[in-house]
């Protein structure tokens, strides 16, 4: 099993989850179990996908999922602000987390595709190599 707690992106996403739980705890009853719950679930999926990406050899398919969850969180947090559930300070605070995670996932994705994707595409399999020699 791969370790993930050392990853800066995991730490940031974990901290974001904590802040989202603190924030949604204060949501009015009308929104706590709808929008608030949806935000918590999306943040949890973000964290799950980061752990999964770190555990898998082929991380590529997780990057788009992580980016989608980030965008969904941005929209839902903005909706919370527009509904006057959270104030502008809280919006900016949570958006800083989202921005930092977004930068980290972009860097991780670039690193992965630069270092691993090309090697996998252009390296012939042993069977193919053996067939060429025969």
Task: Report the CATH number that the domain containing residue 57 is assigned in CATH.
Answer: 1.20.1440.60
Q: Has residue 52 been placed in a domain?
A: yes
Number of domains in the chain: 1
Question: Can you list the pairs that 16-22 forms with residues at least 24 positions away whose Cβ atoms lie under 8 Å?
Answer: 16/43, 16/46, 16/94, 16/97, 16/98, 16/101, 17/43, 17/44, 17/46, 17/47, 19/93, 19/94, 19/97, 20/94
Q: Has residue 1 been placed in a domain?
A: no
Q: Has residue 22 been placed in a domain?
A: yes
pLDDT over 80 (residue 5): no
In this predicted structure, which of 10-24, 29-43, 88-102, 107-121 has the lowest mean pLDDT?
A: 107-121
Please give the model's pTM, rounded to 2 decimal places: 0.80
Q: Which domain holds residue 93?
A: 8-133
pLDDT of residue 59: 78
Q: Has residue 54 been placed in a domain?
A: yes
Q: Has residue 2 been placed in a domain?
A: no
């Amino acid at each position: 099993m791969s370790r993930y707690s050392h990853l800066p992106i995991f730490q940031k996403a974990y901290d974001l989850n904590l802040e989202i739980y603190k924030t949604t705890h204060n949501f009015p009853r009308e929104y706590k179990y709808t929008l608030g719950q949806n935000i918590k679930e999306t943040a949890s999926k973000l964290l799950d996908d980061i752990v999964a990406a770190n555990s898998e050899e082929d991380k590529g398919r997780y990057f788009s999922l992580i980016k989608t969850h980030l965008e969904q969180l941005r929209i839902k947090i903005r909706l919370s602000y527009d509904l006057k559930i959270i104030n502008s300070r809280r919006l900016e605070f949570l958006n800083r987390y989202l921005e930092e995670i977004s930068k980290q996932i972009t860097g991780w994705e670039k690193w992965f595709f630069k270092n691993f994707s090309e090697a996998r595409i252009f390296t012939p399999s042993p069977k193919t190599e053996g067939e060429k020699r025969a």
